[in-house]
Amino acid sequence: MSEHKTINITLKVWRQYGPEDRGRFETIAVEGVDTHSSFLEMLDFLNEKLILEDKEPIEFDNDCREGICGTCGAVVNGIPHGHGKAMTICQLHMREFNDGDTIVVEPFRARAFKVVKDLIVDRSSLEKIIQAGGYVSVDTGGAPDGNAIPIAQEKAEEAMDAAACIGCGACVATCPNASAMLFVSAKVSQLALLPQGRPEANQRVLAMLKEMDKCGFGNCTNHRMCENACPKEVSITHIARFNREFLKAALVGRFSP
Amino acid sequence: MNWYMFVLGSSVGKKMLMAVTGLCLVGFLAVHLLGNFMAFAGADAFNAYAAKLHSLQPYLTIFNIGLATLGLVHIVIGTILFFENLKARPTKYDVYKNPGGRTIGSNTMPYTAVLILAFIILHLLKFTFVDKSATPIFELMSTTFANPLWVLMYVVAMVIVAVHISHGFWSLFQTFGVNHPRYMPLIMNLGLIVTFAFGIGFASLPVYLYLIQ
Ligand code: HEM
Ligand code: FES
């Protein structure tokens, strides 16, 4: 354990009253920040002060605060979830910053992610893509035997790597084109790898692609920034699998989206 | 029709068109580069090679129309992608950093593209759409590259092409879905070799022609 230290920082944070407001940056000096606090705790600390001063607190999304739910997210100094490798903003700690730092905090920016308030964005477009095909249909009846379908260890592992996606939207936020390909490909890849997902594989990839395009995300141009910003380190090899699944479905599948 | 519109018009479909046409253009450049090397064998060898090429009618015309079509598709789809991607983020970030992955090549694709297009137009005006009945092609080249400004222009243009390929080459494989930890490093290295081979290979001829005068 490092010793307790407090630092003074300057926060340049995006403030926006609502979806229709134009929004602006506000510069706020935050003094006496405990370096053991997390980034979100620093915001809590600041918000309590703002409330006591009769000012509007800074709104931000969060839930589990342990990097598993995917609810939190903001761009810190130009990188979604901050510069830490493989972590969400709720896992980012103030010990990563120095006394006197100016920290710029912005919401995830994309046409498909409308700002709701301050740092909160509407990511329901990601839900819509999942609803379009990111599932397997299971008939009712007795629960199937868990071991009835053998799955190769390497496939199970790779499917698990894809399933690690928490749907936070950092890939969209960091992509120069605001493309959602890493997110969408993670789900397509996960289900394409598993025998349970195969029967609907062709429909799935085309339906999810169609919905993704409809939501207004950009086109992937293989910058690879997404896999580097991803808190779960989802790899672009899943995007490659998405592309293969697309070719398969488009060329030999009979399904028309 | 519906199927064609969806498959080719979707975001991934458009990328596939970029990759197919990009691969063909890389193939063309490889052949073009081999042709250029004939010039190192001297004026007669190069002029004979050019005459041989032009005698291959109607195949040469068919080839040229095909190449122009591929180029046009590459340019049109690339332009559509560029504007769609611009639209996908209406509000820019105040601070925007690369968490890793982005390269000079990937960062500049649309800009190197426009410069390459400008170069191609100039190049065609200079060496293709000219009256070659009086002066053979080799002499046309050597008089052009007697001027160091033309040499410099061509060398810079070839660096720009190389930068475009430095991202384009591996990217087209990724777009086709050819990415596996086992051979992606090989593709990346091949891309580096192609980048330098094209850059140095194409730039060497103007420099050589300048130096031998
Ligand atoms: C010597 C000629 C050229 C070659 C060999 C070439 C090659 C390539 C390749 C291999 C790609 C990657 C495709 C992919 O990612 O799947 C690409 C992308 C691209 N090219 Fe070209 N290209 C050439 C000329 C041009 C020209 C003249 C333009 C436009 C004026 C252009 C515009 C683009 C654009 C906008 C992209 C997409 C960038 C992206 O998706 O990240 N290219 N090119
Ligand atoms: S709040 Fe759950 S991942 Fe950050």
More confident residue, A146 or B137: B137
Q: What is the pTM of this model?
A: 0.94
Extents of the domains making up chain A: 6-116, 124-255
pLDDT value of position B2:
82
Classify strands A6-15 and A102-106 as parallel, antiparallel or unpaired: parallel
pLDDT value of position A252:
87
B98-117 residues touching A, CB cutoff 8 A? 98-102, 106-107, 109
From CA A199, how far away is CA A179, in angstroms rounded? 27
pLDDT value of position B99:
97
- Let me know if residue B48 belongs to a domain: yes
Instruction: Say how far residue A145 (Cα) sits from the centre of its chain.
Output: 34
Residue-wise pLDDT tens digits, B61-86: 999 999 999 999 999 999 999 999 99
Q: Among the residues of A57-180, which ranges form H helices?
A: 124-133, 153-163, 170-174
**Helices B104-127 & B148-176, crossing angle to 10 degrees?**
130
pLDDT over 80 at B57, yes or no: yes
pLDDT value of position B155:
98
Q: Strand, helix or coil at A232?
A: coil
Instruction: Give Dmax over CA atoms of chain B in angstroms.
Output: 60
Selected from 3.30.2010.10, 1.10.1060.10, 1.10.357.10, 2.160.10.10, the CATH number assigned to the domain covering A124-255 reads: 1.10.1060.10
Q: Among the residues of chain A, which ranges form H helices?
A: 39-52, 124-133, 153-163, 170-174, 181-193, 201-214, 225-229, 237-251
CB A113 within 8 A of CB A172: yes
Residue range B173-185: mean pLDDT, rounded:
96
Q: Are A236 and B174 inside 8 Å of each other by CB?
A: yes
pLDDT value of position A1:
52
Task: Sort out which chain B residues have CB atoms less than 8 A from A111's CB and list them.
Answer: 87-90
pLDDT value of position B133:
83
Roughly how many angstroms between the first and final C-alpha of chain B, as a whole number?
58
Structure tokens at A151: 């799955």
What's the number of domains chain B is made of? 1
Rounded to 5°, angle at Cα A40 from A6 and A125: 155
Looking at domain A6-116, its CATH class is alpha beta
pLDDT value of position A2:
58
Nearest listed ligand to the Cα of residue B106: 1
Choose among B7, B90, B101: nearest Cβ to A225: B101
Query: Token pair 């809590």 is at which residue?
Result: A44
CB B43 within 8 A of CB B136: yes
As for ligand 1, residues whose beta carbon falls within 6 Å of it are: A 221-222; B 15, 18-19, 22, 25-26, 29, 74-75, 78, 81-82, 109-110, 113-114, 116-117, 120, 161, 164-165, 168-169, 171-172, 175
Please name which of A43, A66, A76 lies closest in space to residue A166, comparing C-alpha atoms.
A66
Residue range A111-136: mean pLDDT, rounded:
97
Predicted ipTM of the assembly: 0.94
pLDDT value of position B1:
53
Q: How confident is the model at residue B51 (pLDDT cuts 50, 70, 90)?
A: very high
Please name which of A159, A13, A24 lies closest in space to residue A89, comparing C-alpha atoms.
A13
Please name which of A171, A146, A169 lies closest in space to residue A156, comparing C-alpha atoms.
A146
Name the burial class of residue A231, with classes exposed (0-12), middle (13-18) and buried (19+) by CB atoms within 10 angstroms of its CB: buried
Structure tokens at A115: 């700002």
pLDDT over 60 at A163, yes or no: yes
Q: How confident is the model at residue B183 (pLDDT cuts 50, 70, 90)?
A: very high
- Let me know if residue B120 belongs to a domain: yes
Choose among A79, A111, A236: nearest Cβ to B89: A111
More confident residue, B3 or A209: A209
Parent domain of B138: 3-91+103-211
- Let me know if residue B98 belongs to a domain: no
pLDDT value of position A91:
97
Q: Are A218 and B88 inside 8 Å of each other by CB?
A: yes
pLDDT over 80 at B33, yes or no: yes
- A116-120, B1-5, B56-60: which has the minimum mean pLDDT? B1-5
CB A175 within 8 A of CB A223: yes
pLDDT over 90 at A162, yes or no: yes
Q: Are A243 and B177 inside 8 Å of each other by CB?
A: yes
